[in-house]
Structure 1
């Protein structure tokens, strides 16, 4: 035996070995090496191994130097290298073995060859997920990215970037691509539309991955891919709310939402939940819709109390009782009849619900000293040729008139156009028609409408309410109007069909409909924004007593056309 391994040096070496063994187990525990899924090992796991091994070697070296008066420097370096090689290699072998099993499973399963749009963080995470999860049924083959510095690079699993969005069609043909996934979660709506134009020309399924921040926060899984919907293409960049203005008004407050089971009302409930109210009163006429939103919100552990109230805003006594019993600080009034042709056929119901229901709710709120009352209005209140629009304009006038009569309650109205995906929108109707094999019915080739997503509309309503000083009619910037026929064509393409397969027919304008909607008439235009995408309308005011007397006369004589003439006649501002 070499003299190096005899006597006192041998004892020191044995002590050092025991210290190294103990310290390695200690630091392996500290850096969580014993509780990792090594079949999913990545750079993060390698860094953990490096830290644990380096810490144990440094600790052993320090122990030797201080207590044994020796160092074994070269031996420590060799030991460090061998530990990294053996420990790292043994752990990563699980990853290698798993990939071989996955490769074998991939050959067994009929995985769809997939093109990834985006070679950034989102694309890399998605490719890894697809490789690790054959159950998703997709195999990443090639990627594209508009960034010149990413061309020709290889991502996870050898997926190569072979061009830009303009090369999508040729790559689909070259690699027999069956699916395209847009993996740029931070993509602007405009860029998404541009990329989708290239992808949709290939007539293969186009999917989009969820927001990367939601993935990293654990709210969504990378595997939760979805088809690109018309809402994704027509939606706009989200507005950042001024939380400093909104939080003091809602935090620890009692909020009442009428029409809480509807598309807008339920989304307002979801949005205001983020501002920590004490209690939200879910008021609605339909028990099923209120039950649905109550069940949804009850699943969220946020300390907010949700109270379901079944009531009709037309019941004046009931509304006064509710306001008195719950003493809300804020009321969002979303309950209304909104369907134009139906209200043309039932004008008295539109008057009772939209006019007297609003008056009942607002006066009940004033009586209960509610601090803020926000009414949801519509672009159909501008120059309305129909009963529904006329009743909503009258409701705006009532809100303005009542605001002049009280100092305790701030009353405002917020006006916007159609919301994407609401139950009254054309989009659900078009979807059903496409599912049935067509045709899609569009009233007129020239018809246009303003569109906004439900979350955006609800956020802007909350922001407008926070800006209110009293009596305003806020108008939300709806962007550019969309031709309904173009919307139908987009939905046909998104559903994987052509216009030859799903026909579009024109049925003619229905009673009360307009070809074009407006958000403000020429007498109401106020060009300056009071907040991003929020304008202040110069809506004219009318004496409340005169207004109610006139409406009662309309109802008594059933002279509903005079209601439309009344709201459309010019008035002095």
Structure 2
């Protein structure tokens, strides 16, 4: 009968076979002990106490059953089984000595009992590890596993190796580590190699994936490692951070794809709790655009800091339902009110703010997609600029303490309607502050956030999954990036700063060239970019041309000056604003153009309000054509 056939037996049959094996090994251990002790002077046929060699299983096997030795699954047997065998054999030796004494076995060599203890430990323990090796080898043959390499030979790496060896999906082949002191060490037969050996290891061992097991390494170092691995064209997965692993052992299920946040290498800055709580704890907080990418994350951050009530204001019913359900699961104790409405409806805004006694408003509602706003000029300006102004007017009328506007880097020297409309929203708030207001108006400006609806990263992921091509508007285009949670956290902290009328700018780090980002995402997926140098590559990057109003480079400051604040990631901008006497008549004319849906008139008026607005000619022609059709 083959060993594979034995593995298919039921659990009870396997336990019976293990008991039978031990029933054979225990007498053999006692015979070996006596032979070693007496050598050629002992003839078992002449020994009157030969029966003593057959009875150890009668008490040893019940001891093993009681200690749970037969409940251990062979495939997952680990070093702890040694303690079970040690305890069982030690008790068995005590019983054997008692039998010898009570049966008055005179000629039996007493020292052979100690030798029996050693042989029994060796036979029983070794049999388990031998059987475990056979089971795992058969598993490897029956279910071929993907060859992987583990980068990081620390505690997390070794734990990951043990988890992989017990599974059926991956087969760890080697370790790589930056620490020279670990090189040439072995863990369960796997050697630790230097990073310089990676190309050879990938080729010789047939590595299909590299698993990063460095949960405590900083983001900057992590980014360096990912950049160095990029040229290998091997898919990379990694374990989460230490905070996510601290509760238990490393699990294979914890492995995840390398995220774009890891590629940015941006080290998180611990938030200041006093700033986070200043406008939230014990206060009624309202978030407009609560179902959007930034608005929903603001809500998640706000409920962590003890608001008296959270008012969710949103125009989309589905988005409002989604964030309401999310918060119900996350923070059921925080009172919340989901309100449907438009930020251009000042009467609705006033009734909501007055009814709930709102103290703080985070205004995240906006149309933000550049091509969509460019095509729908009047609607974009009406929602972004006049929606902000009316929301601010309602806040003043209801004595709201703090009003925080979520702005954008596209408001700086804008070339598109979306950016110009957000800059106009800033100007409206600055004018209200300049004339004197009980409400403190704060503006926070930042760039792209990773993972937001319509952003380039999820688009690239979908295109890679579909086999390409990756579509890019221009080879030279660069953007600033920040994670949504970090952006929301910094917005809350910036909102607690300043006296009013302040424009705060978030430190976005270094700008990222989008074509480099695209290539890196392809390479870290284990694929090759198809280009002139690699005509047989997997994924093509296709340049489609700049969209109307799109800039190659984004900026965060209109002027040259930016003052530091108490927070290392938040700067204060010093920028011009229009006097209310100049702003009001121009806003009235712009409102008429928006309500008449006259996109061409909106374009003509916007440079009078936003002096840096320089729309592209093609963009102006397109809007005029669309306006004419409407």
Shorter-chain TM-score bucket reads 0.7 to 0.9
Once the two structures are TM-superposed, the CA of residue 152 in structure 1 deviates from its matched residue by: 1.9
**Does the 8 Å contact 2:74/2:135 carry over to 1?**
no
- Corresponding residue number in structure 2 for 1:532: 568
**Does the 8 Å contact 1:477/1:535 carry over to 2?**
yes
**Aligned pair 1:415/2:451, yes or no?**
no
Secondary structure, counterpart of 2:313 in structure 1? strand
Of 552, 555, 562, 1:518 maps to 555
Secondary structure, counterpart of 2:186 in structure 1? coil
Task: Show the 5 A alignment for 1:255-334.
Answer: 255-300=285-330, 303-334=333-364
- Corresponding residue number in structure 2 for 1:131: 165
Once the two structures are TM-superposed, the CA of residue 129 in structure 1 deviates from its matched residue by: 2.0
Secondary structure, counterpart of 1:250 in structure 2? coil
**Distance 1:124-1:272 versus aligned 2 partners, 3 A rule:** farther
- Corresponding residue number in structure 2 for 1:204: 234
Distance in 2, Cα, partners of 1:86 & 1:294:
64
Once the two structures are TM-superposed, the CA of residue 532 in structure 1 deviates from its matched residue by: 1.4
- Corresponding residue number in structure 2 for 1:105: 139
- Corresponding residue number in structure 1 for 2:215: 185
Deviations 1:14-63 (Å, cap 9, x if unpaired)? xxxxxxxxxxxxxxxxxxx9x9999978789999999x99xxxxxxxxxx
Distance in 2, Cα, partners of 1:414 & 1:229:
26
**Aligned pair 1:469/2:499, yes or no?**
yes
Distance in 2, Cα, partners of 1:428 & 1:483:
16
Secondary structure, counterpart of 1:105 in structure 2? helix
Secondary structure, counterpart of 2:407 in structure 1? strand
- Corresponding residue number in structure 1 for 2:173: 141
- Corresponding residue number in structure 1 for 2:186: 154
**Distance 1:509-1:306 versus aligned 2 partners, 3 A rule:** same
Distance in 1, Cα, partners of 2:370 & 2:385:
15
Secondary structure, counterpart of 2:431 in structure 1? helix
Secondary structure, counterpart of 1:161 in structure 2? strand
Distance in 2, Cα, partners of 1:463 & 1:518:
22
Secondary structure, counterpart of 2:585 in structure 1? helix
- Corresponding residue number in structure 1 for 2:610: 567
**Distance 1:381-1:95 versus aligned 2 partners, 3 A rule:** farther
Distance in 2, Cα, partners of 1:158 & 1:294:
52
**Distance 1:212-1:559 versus aligned 2 partners, 3 A rule:** closer
Once the two structures are TM-superposed, the CA of residue 286 in structure 1 deviates from its matched residue by: 1.0
**Does the 8 Å contact 2:75/2:136 carry over to 1?**
no
- Corresponding residue number in structure 1 for 2:545: 508
Deviations 1:211-247 (Å, cap 9, x if unpaired)? 1221223699552212213332125111210013323
Distance in 2, Cα, partners of 1:316 & 1:150:
66
Task: Show the 5 A alignment for 1:460-499.
Answer: 460-495=490-525, 496-499=527-530
**Distance 1:370-1:559 versus aligned 2 partners, 3 A rule:** closer
**Distance 1:569-1:449 versus aligned 2 partners, 3 A rule:** closer
Distance in 2, Cα, partners of 1:544 & 1:449:
34
- Corresponding residue number in structure 2 for 1:163: 194
Distance in 2, Cα, partners of 1:559 & 1:97:
80
Deviations 1:76-129 (Å, cap 9, x if unpaired)? xxxxxx99x999x99999898767644543332221111000112221222222
Once the two structures are TM-superposed, the CA of residue 531 in structure 1 deviates from its matched residue by: 1.2
Deviations 1:155-204 (Å, cap 9, x if unpaired)? 3x33321222x222111112111111011122333322322233232222
Distance in 1, Cα, partners of 2:84 & 2:443:
57
**Distance 1:302-1:148 versus aligned 2 partners, 3 A rule:** farther
**Does the 8 Å contact 1:554/1:560 carry over to 2?**
no
Q: Which consecutive residues of structure 1, in runs of 5 or more, have no partner in the other structure?
A: 1-32, 54-81
Give the stretch that moved more between structures: 173-182 or 221-230.
221-230
Deviations 1:283-303 (Å, cap 9, x if unpaired)? 211111222222222222562
Secondary structure, counterpart of 2:181 in structure 1? helix
Once the two structures are TM-superposed, the CA of residue 278 in structure 1 deviates from its matched residue by: 3.5
**Does the 8 Å contact 1:263/1:422 carry over to 2?**
yes
**Aligned pair 1:121/2:155, yes or no?**
yes
**Does the 8 Å contact 1:450/1:517 carry over to 2?**
yes
Distance in 2, Cα, partners of 1:533 & 1:346:
34
Distance in 2, Cα, partners of 1:354 & 1:550:
16
Alpha-carbon RMSD = 3.8
Task: Show the 5 A alignment for 1:204-243.
Answer: 204-217=234-247, 222-234=252-264, 236-243=266-273
Once the two structures are TM-superposed, the CA of residue 327 in structure 1 deviates from its matched residue by: 2.0
**Distance 1:550-1:147 versus aligned 2 partners, 3 A rule:** same
Once the two structures are TM-superposed, the CA of residue 514 in structure 1 deviates from its matched residue by: 1.6
Distance in 1, Cα, partners of 2:349 & 2:280:
22
**Distance 1:112-1:514 versus aligned 2 partners, 3 A rule:** same
**Does the 8 Å contact 2:238/2:255 carry over to 1?**
yes
Distance in 2, Cα, partners of 1:94 & 1:546:
88
Once the two structures are TM-superposed, the CA of residue 309 in structure 1 deviates from its matched residue by: 1.7
Once the two structures are TM-superposed, the CA of residue 505 in structure 1 deviates from its matched residue by: 2.7
The TM-score with structure 2 as length reference comes to 0.73
**Distance 1:39-1:488 versus aligned 2 partners, 3 A rule:** closer
Give the stretch that moved more between structures: 240-249 or 445-454.
240-249
Give the stretch that moved more between structures: 532-541 or 358-367.
358-367
**Distance 1:497-1:536 versus aligned 2 partners, 3 A rule:** same
**Does the 8 Å contact 1:414/1:464 carry over to 2?**
yes
**Distance 1:103-1:464 versus aligned 2 partners, 3 A rule:** farther
Distance in 2, Cα, partners of 1:426 & 1:477:
20
